[in-house]
Amino acid sequence: MTDLLETAPRVTDTHCPYCGLQCAMTLTGDSAADLTVTPRRFPTNRGGLCQKGWTSAELLRHPGRLTTPLVRKAGELIETSWDEALDLVADTMRQVQDDHGRDAVALFGGGGLTNEKAYQLGKFARVALRTSQIDYNGRWCMSSAAAAGIRCFGLDRGMPFPVTDLGSAHAVLLLGANPAETMPPFLGHLVTSAEAGGLMVADPRLTPTAARALEGGGLHLQLRPGTDAALALGMLHLAVVERHVDRDYIAARTSGWDELWPTVAQWTPDRAERVTGVAAATMRRAVELLARARDTERGAYVLSASGGEQHATGTDTVSAYIALALGLGLPGQRGSGFGTITGQGNGQGGREHGQKADQLPGYRKIADPVARAHVAGVWGIDPDDLPGPGRSAFELLDALGTDAGPRLLMVHGSNPVVSAPHAGRVRERLAALDLLVVCDFVLSETAAMADVVLPVLQWAEEEGTMTNLDGRVLRRRAALAPAGLARSELEVWHDLAVRLGQPAERFPTDPRVVFDELRRASAGGPADYSAITWERIDAGEHLHWPCPLDRPQGTPRLFLDGFAFPDGRARFSAVDQTGPAEPVDGHYPLIGTTGRVLAHYQSGAQTRLVPELAASSGGMFVQVHPETADRAGLGDGALADVVSRRGRTRATVRCDADMRLDTVFLPFHWSGDGTANHLTNPVLDPTSRMPEFKACAVRLEVAS
C-alpha cells in the first residue's frame, strides 16, 4: 500500500482553459506527455466537459508548442535567448517612445488572461510605459453587453446571479446564444426549462440549442440577422398590450419607462414581424411563457450572448433586451433575471482590471479623478502621471504604423489577424509596425507575423485566478512545470519594466502577490475583490464579487435590494432598432453572419492543433440553404467564395434546409483563405466600440 501511495500520480484540481463557464477538471499526472483530464463535479459544469475540455491536454504536448524565444532575422524567426529578446523589445520600446512619444507603444490583451495578468498588463502600460494605447480582444466579445449593463443596471456582471439559479427555471429566453455548441455543459442548467417547453432561442439559424428548445416544445425565433432590437421591442410591445408587463415593478424599481414607451409603442407586432421575420404569434407565445413562469414563481430569465451583442448597435440591442426583462419585472428578483453569457475564459475578470482602454482596476473609469487617485496610490505613483483613455481595439489596430498611431505593438493572449473584423486591413497595419511582439504558446497567425515571439505558459503550467461568467472567482492551478524556456507574462513584464527603469518590486512575478495587490486596487470599486483571498478560494468557497471587506460573504445575487445607481432604480434606455449598417443590395444580396462551432475556441489557434478537434469539425465551411446555394451554382460540398466589399473567404458549402434563404453562416475559427473576418464590417458601436461581426452584405460565388 505504501508503494502505491508513493507512486500515486499527482492530481491537480483546476478549470478548463477555454470558455467562460470554466468547467472544473482534474488533471492527473505530472508530465505533459501523460497528463490526463477528467471532469470534476462543480456547480457550474455539474461534472460535465465538452470535447474541447476533454482534449485540452493535447496542446501541452503538441510539437508546435513554443518553448524558446524567437526573433526575426533576415525574414526568418530564429531561436534566441530571453535576454536578447527582452533587450531588443525594451530597447525598441524606449527608442520608439523617444522618437514618437509614449503612445507610440501599444499593448493588446486578451479575455483569456488570468485576473493577475489582466491587472498587471494594465499596470505595465500605465506605469512602466505610461502609454494610453492598451485594449484587448474582449472589446470584440463582451463590450456591448458590458456597456448596456452599466447603462441600465449601473454595473456589469454578466450574470448577476449564480448560473445554478437557471436550473429550476421554467422559462428561459436565449437571445443570440448557442450554448449547445459554444458552452455545452451550460445546457445542463436548461434541462428544466427545455423539458417544460419553456426554452426559447432567438437565432437566425436552427442551432443545436434551438433544436433542443423545439424538441421540448419550446420556441425558435428565427430572426433576420441584425434585427435583434426590433424583436425585443416588439415583444415588449406585446407584453404591454397583452397586459403582461409588471406595472408595479416599473413604477417602484425603474426609471425611464415614459421615455422608452413611445418607441416601443411603434413596434407593433406586425411591424416587428416584418422586420425580424419572426411571426407575431411566436413572439406572443414567448412573452406568455415568460410571464406565466414569472406569475407562477417558476423562474423566468432572459439571457443574451454574442448574436445580438456583436453589432455596431450592440449596446442599444442589449439595452432593448434589458428593457424587455425590466418590463416583465425580472431583474433583481429572486428566481428571475437578466444575464449575459460571457464567452472567453476570463471574459468577466478580464474586463474588470484595467486592460481596457478606458479602465482602471476594480472596474473603475480611468477618466474618473477619484479612481485615478486611488489606483495611483496603490501603485505608488502620482495620479497625474497616469495616461488617459486610449483607442479601442479596432481603432488601435487600425492606427498601427500610421503617422499618429503606435509603432510598436505587444500582443498577449490574442490572435487579431484572425479574430479582428476586416482582417485584411489588420494584417496590413501589423505589417507597417516598427516592431511586433507576440506572447503566445503556439505560433498563431499573429505570432507568425511577429518580429519577436515570446513563449509563455499554458493553463496547466500556471497559478492564478479566473472570474467566470457568473462573477465567481476560481483558482487555476499548475500541474506541470513550464515547458522548455516558457515563462509567465508576469515575468516578461517584470523583466521589461526593470529594463525600462522601474523598481523591481513594483512588478512582482508571483501571481499570489499580484492578486493581493489587485484586491487592494479593486477595493471600493464596482468590482471589489478585497475580501476574496487566495486561501478562501483554495478552501473551496464560492465567492462572487463584489466582495468588500465589510461584506466578506460576497454577492451571489446582485440588485435584490436595488440597482447600482444612486436612486437604486434600473434605467430603461430609450433605444430603437437601427442597422444593420450594411444593407443587402443587388451586388451583395445575402446577409453573412459569423459564429462558432463546438470543436473550436476563438480564432482556433489552439484548437486547430488538437487532432481530434480538427478531425471532428472538418475545415472552413459556409452554411447555406440548398436553394440559395443552387442559385449561386453551388451544391453541398462545393467550394465557394463568399464575397463582401472588404474581401473574400473560401469555404466548403454545407447545405442546410433549416437556414434562412437570405442568410449564410461562417465560423470564424479558420485562417488564411478561410478567414471569415475577411468579410466582416469594422463599423463600430458608438458606445462599446464593438464591430459589426454578425451582419454584413455578401454574395456567393463558385470558387475560381
Partner 1 sequence: MTTRVLVVGNGMAGARVAEELRRRDPSGHQIAVTVVGEEAHAAYNRILLSTVVGGAITPRETRLKPDGWWEAHLIEVRTGSRVTAVDTLTRTATVCRVPAAGGQPTDASLTDASTQIAWDELVLATGSTSFMPRIEGTQVGDRRFDDAQAGDMQLEETDVVAFRSIDDCARLVRAARSASHAIVLGGGLLGIEAARGLLMRGVDVTIVHPRSIPMERQLDDDGGAVLTRVLRATGARLILGRRVTAWRDAAGGHGHEAVLDDGTTIAGDLLVVAAGILPRVDLARDLGAEVRRGIVVDDRLSTTVPHVHAVGECVEHRGTVYGLVQPGWEQARVLADVLTGADPTSRYEGTEPLTRLKVHDIDLASMGVVTTGLHDDDHEVVTVADPRRGRYAKLVLRGDRVVGAVLLGAGDVAGAVSQLFDSGAPAPTDRIALLLGRAPGSGATPLDAVSLAQMPGSAVICRCNSVTKHGIVEAWRSGCTTRDAVATATRATTGCGSCVAAVDGLCQWLTSVEPPDMAARAGPESPTVSDQPQQHHPTAAFAEGAA
Residues that bind partner 1 (CB under 8 A): 39, 46-51, 54, 179-181, 184-188, 191, 206, 208, 210-215, 220, 224, 240-243, 258-259, 261-262, 265-266, 268-271, 273-274, 276-282, 574, 589, 598-599, 612, 616, 625, 627, 631, 658, 661-662
In degrees rounded to 5, what are phi and psi of residue 39? -70, 155
Per DSSP, the residues of 237-304 read HHHHHTT-S-HHHHHHHEE-HHHHHHHHHH--HHHHHHHH---HHHHHHHHHHHHHHHHTTS-EEEEE
d(CA 313, CA 638): 34
Contact 347, 414 (CB under 8 A): no
Q: Are strands 11-15 and 364-365 parallel, antiparallel or unpaired?
A: unpaired
Q: In whole angstroms, what is the distance from residue 530 CA to residue 519 CA?
A: 4
Judged by beta carbon, residue 201 or residue 497, the one nearer partner 1 is: 201
Alpha helix (H) residue ranges in 362-475:
369-379, 393-399, 416-419, 423-431
Contact 110, 348 (CB under 8 A): no
Location of C-alpha cell 460571457: 342
Report CA-CA distances (Å) from 626 to 220, 647, 656, 661: 20, 24, 6, 9
Distance CA 310, CA 148 (A): 13
**294, 286, 291: which is closest to 333 by C-alpha?**
294
Q: Give least dist CB 579 to partner 1, A.
A: 16
Q: Which residue in 16, 176, 19, 223 sits closest to 595, CA to CA? A: 176
The grid coordinates of residue 218 equal 419550446
Q: Check residue 445 and give left, alpha or beta (phi > 0: left; psi -120 to 50: alpha).
A: alpha
Count of CB atoms situated within 10 Å of the CB of 239: 24
Nearer to partner 1, 217 or 672 (CB): 217
Residue 342 or 533: the one with the smaller Cβ distance to partner 1 is 342
Nearest approach in angstroms of CB 454 to partner 1 is 34
Q: How far is the CB of 136 from partner 1 (least distance, A)?
A: 29
* Distance, CA of 432 to CA of 449 (rounded, Å): 11
Burial of 585 per CB tally in 10 Å (0-12, 13-18, 19+)? exposed
Looking at residue 89, its amino acid is V
SS3 211: helix
User: Are 477 and 522 within 8 A, CB to CB?
Assistant: no
* CB closer to partner 1 out of 662 and 701: 662
* Paired strand residues for 621: 652
* Cα→Cα distances 417→182, 257, 680, Å: 22, 43, 13
**Euclidean distance between CA atoms 563 and 368, whole angstroms:** 21
DSSP string, 231-256: HHHHHHHHHHHTT-S-HHHHHHHEE-
- Which residue's entry shows cell 473609469? 365
**443/692 Cα distance (integer angstroms):** 27
Residue 612 Cβ, how far from partner 1 at the closest point, in Å? 8
Q: Which is nearer to partner 1, 37 or 152 (CB)?
A: 37
Q: Which is nearer to partner 1, 570 or 584 (CB)?
A: 584
Output the 3-class SS for 12-24.
EEEECCCCCCCCE
In the complex with partner 1, which residue's Cβ is closer, 412 or 660? Answer: 660
What three-state secondary structure class fits 520? helix
The DSSP annotation for 144-180 comes to: HHHHHHHHHHSS--SSSS-GGGGGG-SEEEEES--HH
* Inter-CA distances, 490 with 287, 355, 359, 495, Å: 49, 14, 20, 9
* Nearest-approach distance from CB 336 to partner 1, in angstroms: 22
Nearest CA-CA partner of 194 in 220, 229, 175, 225: 220
Nearer to partner 1, 146 or 199 (CB): 199
